[in-house]
């Protein structure tokens, strides 16, 4: 449930934003994530001014769409990554990135706490596994996500434990579908 | 809906990385809206992206950026109801391009009762809706690049297999195929190509530039 080093409970901050429009919670998220989004975008080829503008838009979207964040299906970092990916301003491309249909818990319902806990744990495990990857493998994955890998290269095995995280998300989706029907 | 044909790992990774042309992303996002198995796979790849972003060296924003973002935040507590599909066959990513019902799209005849509608995506790849009457064939064709075909209604068969609602066929330049809609319900598909299709008979070739196939 916590970020690896400083122990901040990002999920709780997201709830505070969603339920109470908590500006202090938003400031904390902004201070941690906005520079990472900016760094990520610059690594993907954006110039500093574009990356800055985009990072600000991403953080405004975090506030605006807080009700769509489902901690039983993603960590806060992952959710913010998906927003950044979709808003990425790439000088050469004018494409949008269409997103799957939103699936949301109702206004008076929450995912199961145990599912949320497991999901956040699973994300921490994935983060550690990526950190432990041999340099060549890590470089391959980074190239995939920083945007210059061909489809053939993408087919290479990553060796990451993605099966468990996929199963967790699948379970969370099943529970959400049951709740929605 | 029993989905048997899914998004490949390579495509899903490219989608997670945000490196697909818009037309392909549209097909993938529409499939993910129909297929929880692939949505979960995509979520696992997103988690890789999230971890990489978390590990990225931060770059400080300019002074006052937090204040300027704060100044434009809406203080209302909003929990808008999820968007309902105007047409149950068109999940929201697709509905964003077609508006209302599939019947009301500006279809153009391709011959043999087959109709198509090009969707307004940016980038080099082209997305189109195809409407194939039950029992009818789409002209025999190969591809210069990649073709994704997602079934929204009905089903088709080609040399490789049967594709029903929610199924995604991924065809590359190796595949020459003649998709035939099953008898019964008309088959409606969302397709994306990254290069013009090559038709193997004379007539379709003539109309090709006009119809942007």
The shortest C-alpha distance from A21 to chain B (Å) reads 6
Architecture of domain A1-98: Orthogonal Bundle (1.10)
Contact present, B170 and B8 (Cβ < 8 Å) = yes
pLDDT above 50 for B203:
no
Those residues whose C-beta lies under 8 Å from the C-beta of residue A139, and which sit 6 or more positions away, are none
Average pLDDT rounded to a whole number, residues B30-58:
95
Nearest to A170 among B37, B53, B79 (CB): B37
Q: Which residues of A55-72 are buried (b: 16+ CB within 10 A; e: fewer)?
A: bbbbbbbbbeebbbbbbb
| DSSP three-state, residue B48 | helix
Average pLDDT, chain B: 86
Query: Does A126 sit within 8 Å of B40, measured CB to CB?
Result: no
Quickly list DSSP for A81-141. Answer: HHHHHHH---TT-------PPP----TT----HHHHHHHHHHHHHHHHHHHHS-HHHHHHH
- Under the banding of pLDDT at 50, 70 and 90, the label for residue B213 is very low
Provide the whole-model pTM.
0.90
Residue A50 pLDDT greater than 50, yes or no: yes
- At A146-181, the pLDDT tens digits run 766 554 554 456 667 788 999 999 999 999 999 888
ipTM of the complex, rounded to two decimals: 0.92
Reported as a pLDDT band with limits 50, 70 and 90, residue A89 is: low
Give the position of tokens 């503008």: A53
B69 touches chain A (CB under 8 A): yes
Q: Which of A55-69, A146-160, B108-122 has the highest mean pLDDT?
A: A55-69
Residues contacting A84, CB < 8 A, separation 6+? A37, A40, A41, A54, A55, A58, B53
How confident is residue B140, by pLDDT bands cut at 50, 70 and 90? low
- B-chain CB neighbours of A98 within 8 Å are 22, 25-26, 29-30, 93-94, 96
Helices (H), chain B: 9-16, 22-34, 36-55, 65-71, 92-98, 202-211
């Amino acid at each position: 449930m916590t970020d690896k080093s400083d122990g901040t409970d990002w999920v709780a901050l997201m709830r505070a934003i969603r339920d109470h429009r908590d500006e202090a919670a938003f400031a904390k998220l902004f201070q941690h994530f906005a520079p990472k989004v900016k760094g990520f975008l610059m690594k993907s080829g954006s110039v500093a001014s574009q990356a800055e503008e985009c990072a600000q838009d991403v953080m405004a979207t975090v506030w605006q769409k807080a009700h769509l964040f489902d901690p039983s299906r993603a960590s806060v970092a992952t959710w913010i990554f998906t927003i950044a990916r979709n808003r990425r301003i790439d000088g050469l491309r004018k494409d949008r990135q269409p997103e799957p249909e939103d699936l949301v818990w109702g206004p008076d319902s929450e995912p199961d706490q145990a599912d949320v806990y497991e999901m956040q744990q699973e994300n921490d495990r994935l983060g550690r596994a990526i950190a432990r990857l041999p340099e060549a493998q890590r470089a391959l994955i980074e190239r995939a996500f920083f945007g210059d890998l061909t489809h053939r290269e993408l087919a290479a095995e990553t060796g990451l434990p993605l099966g468990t995280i996929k199963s967790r998300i699948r379970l969370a989706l099943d529970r959400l579908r049951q709740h929605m029907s | 809906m029993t989905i048997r044909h899914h998004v490949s790992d390579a495509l899903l990774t490219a989608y997670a990385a945000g490196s697909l042309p818009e037309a392909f992303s549209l097909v993938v996002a529409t499939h993910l809206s129909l297929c929880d198995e692939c949505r979960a796979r995509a979520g696992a790849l997103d988690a890789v992206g999230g971890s990489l972003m978390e590990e990225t060296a931060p770059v400080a924003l300019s002074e006052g950026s937090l204040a300027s973002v704060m100044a434009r935040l809406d203080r209302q507590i909003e929990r808008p109801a999820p968007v309902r599909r105007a047409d149950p066959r068109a999940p929201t990513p697709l509905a964003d391009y077609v508006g209302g019902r599939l019947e009301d799209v500006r279809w153009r005849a391709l011959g043999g009762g087959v109709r198509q509608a090009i969707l307004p995506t940016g980038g080099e790849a082209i997305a189109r809706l195809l409407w194939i009457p039950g029992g009818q064939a789409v002209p025999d064709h190969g591809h210069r690049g990649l073709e994704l075909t997602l079934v929204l209604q009905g089903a088709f068969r080609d040399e490789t297999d049967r594709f029903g609602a929610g199924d995604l066929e991924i065809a590359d330049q190796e595949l020459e195929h003649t998709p035939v809609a099953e008898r019964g319900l008309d088959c409606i598909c969302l397709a994306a190509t990254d290069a013009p299709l090559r038709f193997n008979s004379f007539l379709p070739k003539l109309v090709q530039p006009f119809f942007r196939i």
